[in-house]
A and B are shown apart, each in its own frame.
Chain A
Amino acid sequence: DIQMTQSPSSVSASVGDRVIITCRASQNVNNWLAWYQQKAGQAPKLLIYAAASLENGVPSRFSGRGFGTDFTLTINSLQPEDFATYFCQQANSVPLTFGGGTRVELK
């Protein structure tokens, strides 16, 4: 299985800050990398797919980049509704696997 490692596990930030979350795959996943946002009691919500493509309806302050094994999710100008947990997920090979999550908390 491909292991997905996210860092940091949590980050404290203020409204308006830029937050960068990294995700590293244990082997090459090409650009088959997605990012999800999850709020308490809810299902994950797709933000980014194919490493850098913004899902329909997702604000443009979210962006992704990377290829191969190293990826980042950037949230520009953090908004109150962005405080949540974020997960990366590789879709290069079965079984699909997820990172352990990054909690974005209010400073």
Chain B
Amino acid sequence: QVHLQESGPGLVRPSETLSLTCSISGASVSSHYWTWIRQSATNGLEWIGRIYPGVTAEYNPSLRSRLSMSVDTSKKQLFLKVNSLTAADTAVYFCAREIASRRLDSWGQGTLVTVSS
């Protein structure tokens, strides 16, 4: 059974950089797209981007200039960095797996990130 678990700081100050990790078990990291999505009351569900190991990541154009995604297949971990944070980045951040037929079949439980001084 696939299990994804996000981890991160919880509270980040404005203008700083957010670093999140998604730990994966029960699945081959090398064989799928891995996606980051966030959810806020203001913006609903927002696709941040996705990465396929060994291939360039694809980012939401609205966030591209502030994003970096990477994956460590040996540790079975995904990483997301978002810089120049503002209050608008406050959200629950999810990682998810994308499989055949372009479906997001497995999700982590999400981690709440609050941007505040």
Contact = CB atoms under 8 A, between A and B. Distances in A.
B108 A91 contact: no
Contact of B103 (A1, A49, A101): A49
Contact of B104 (A1, A42, A89): A89
Interface of B: 35, 44-47, 49-50, 58, 60-62, 94, 96, 101-105, 107-110
A94 B94 CA distance: 18
Given A96-B47, A98-B44, A98-B47, A91 B103 contact: yes
B1 to A, nearest CB: 11
- Per DSSP, chain A at the interface is loop
Interface size class, chain A: 20 to 34
B68 to A, nearest CB: 17
Contacts, number: 56
Given A32-B102, A50-B103, A43 B109 contact: yes
Nearest to A51: B101
Given A34-B103, A89-B104, A97 B47 contact: yes
- Per DSSP, chain B at the interface is strand
B110 to A, nearest CB: 6
A18 B47 CA distance: 30
5 contacts: A34-B102, A43-B96, A49-B103, A49-B105, A98-B44
Contact of A44 (B46, B62, B102, B107): B107
